[in-house]
Amino acid sequence: MKRIMNRLLPLLVLPLAFAACDDSSFDPTRSSGTMSIMLTDAPGDFEHAIVTIDRIELLGEGQPVILRDEPVTVDLLELQNEVMVLVGETPVPGGSYSELRLIISDGLIAVEQADGSLRVYSSSDEFAASEGFTSSGRLQMPSFAQTGIKIKLPDSEAVVEGDDNAVLIDFNVAQSFGHQAGFSGMWVMHPVIHASSFSSTGSIRLSVVIPDSVTLPVVNDVQVTPGMLSAMLDRDGDMIPVLLTDADSDGTWEATFRFLPPGSWNVGLGLVGNMVVTTDPALPLSFTVVSGQTASSTLTLTSAGLQD
């Protein structure tokens, strides 16, 4: 059963480290700038997906610029629809750079079984224990602690000059972990990570209106309330939920999806049990996300009931 994450985390600013470089990437005609690295997650069918990132490097033609060398351990599933700041406005010599490299020393996934129990696959028994788990099997991480994982920067190049260069890296959990062929009980990590300009992302805001004439049903002896419903974003077949909220108590319930690459996206509603609704306009809604903008739409429930 897929884990549904509705908890949003605050933005975290983490300690940074910087080492100057003396390489051919440096361009003395360009003024020094800064770089920020934010981490987010596309979801997968896991209860936990925990990784330890030991170091982050910025690569050009010469020696790497170390953006961060203090290890951080993070559960990627706590970053759905949110970001963690891994590197914040760290000084970087002016010049052109092509890639980031992440050194990942440990990893762990927890997968829910048919009977509701968890099976945990980790890079080591010690790492599982440090995170409060008992390992059920091994998670293979081929040389990521030594050679690391290289991530192409947006448009294959970042020119650092003056202002901050903010990059969003999206760690796609759904595509990054899989069964090791021919080895029962073993999983392998092949990270799928994409980088985009943080300023190029956009948002979707769905507003839901429930008129007084529409009464939400009772499901399993529980009265359904609007706050129990979710907006559901279709992201390459993975449904990302965000609970509806009415922060200003004006009777309109809203959900916002952040940090989305430009393009077309479909949004539906997550209901409770065997609940069914009709809406105006009909679901799913199609949104076009544009860089730096929020695409908005209002949905009105015209009826609500239970499926026979």
Q: What does the pLDDT read at residue 30?
A: 59
**What average pLDDT does range 47-55 have in this prediction?**
93
Q: What does the pLDDT read at residue 10?
A: 27
Which helix (H) or strand (E) segment is 302 a member of? strand 294-306
pLDDT tens figures, 242-283: 899 999 999 999 999 888 888 999 999 999 999 999 999 999
pLDDT tens figures, 190-243: 888 888 877 778 899 999 999 999 999 999 999 999 999 999 998 777 788 889
> Quick check: 203 and 257 in contact, CB under 8 A?
yes
Q: What does the pLDDT read at residue 162?
A: 65
Residue 18 has pLDDT above 50, yes or no: no
**What average pLDDT does range 70-83 have in this prediction?**
85
**What average pLDDT does range 50-55 have in this prediction?**
94
Q: Where in the chain is the domain with CATH 2.60.40.1120?
A: 202-306
Report domain 202-306's class. mainly beta
pTM above 0.75, yes or no: no
**Three-state secondary-structure class, residue 79:** helix
Q: What does the pLDDT read at residue 16?
A: 28
Task: Burial-class residue 35 by CB neighbours within 10 Å (0-12, 13-18, 19+).
Answer: buried
**Range with the lowest mean pLDDT among 3-7, 154-158, 248-252, 269-273?**
3-7
- Give CA–CA dist 51/109, Å, rounded: 9
